[in-house]
Structure 1
């Protein structure tokens, strides 16, 4: 007897391949005078007014890291039904705008140029309540940094294994070449580290979810940020799990991150006050 495995898999509820569509775009940046490679993952049944999660890579990474290192990401996009956008953040950009350096205007690119391009090209929701941002390591810091500075653009921010306080690492990851040395420019470093930006978070403006592995070298700064947010009565979720600063941990944590954003995107809106 011949068996039609396609029909069998359909009846059993399996898929022979990921249905999510993966595009690689070259997104123009007027601020930097160049195009930036960006991966866009679209759910099979996204429909109109799709929510969007901007997902940032870490130091020395690139736009293809997430989709290539974590194949389950495509299944998660189909499961939750929202878009994931992974821009290239340059080498050691930390997603900052650096004055006088046209090659490093990644705050403007991600929070303005990229968002406008994606909203113009795809059937996305234009409401900030349907737009979030997260990332790993450098991208975790970048996501919180951008969300705090652009609360009119993003309603939710996440960080997985994020370098959420850059000051304990003054000689690492190209930061001194962007900001000058910490010894000579302490105020500039304070302005560019998430740990010193918590006072800018407006009440009920941002949903925040932070996670980190307990063997991670960024675990200490994540603990400190969690404690500070608690002290300042800023609502947030904080998750720690076994794991180090590697893709084994990040491929697990993305499941929690995406579930969080799905909840945020489907949170009932409060009725307008009369």
Structure 2
């Protein structure tokens, strides 16, 4: 049988919900965590047998209305709801041939033209395709600025550099799950997931939750060996002419100590270039 990405996602999200979280009374002995299939079906207003076929992969073409109802029943946020639609094939997607890991010369000039802000370009699997000098200095504790997921889970520097490591780890895995919704059979994603699963039990545990998360503008907290604690906000901007690429730009509060630390980091960057 073909891969059942939709069914796996539904099962994982069902397992993550308790009856009391959706206003239901628990009854009987539960063999597995979370809601029963019948309970999800009741909440979504669909036939229980039909929902079971969705999870089992025997039904693969639910309507957008059914997916919306399931999303409400499973308390999915906007990112997870969009992911659900992509897995079921009801969300418009760009042809896979339109994606590219090539960063345009104009975008590289933009990165280098803002030396006071760490900035880099990533693809959906969090490979760092290009970075300016300050971004490289910011991430200098790592062996290599190559893939944010590998750096988080497999590089020893990750747990020190990301002071909110658990939050960062959840966000990273959520981004990769979102990538799976765009292209579940991506060779690069499959290779990355296999590598991370083979070497990190934390990654495997988080990956199996099927939690989906897009990039936000929340602050990120770092500990850099040369400048100390550093809190930066960031913007993640889609690169319109290169679907799947995002430009990520970090900024510090201009009136606080983080701006001073970022300025010091910039001085170190310039010194290293001499």
**Same fold by TM-score greater than 0.5:** no
TM-score range, shorter chain: under 0.3
The structure where strand makes up a greater share of residues is 1
Could you state the TM-score of these two structures normalised by the residue count of structure 1?
Answer: 0.27
TM-score (norm 2): 0.27
State the structure with more CA Rg: 2
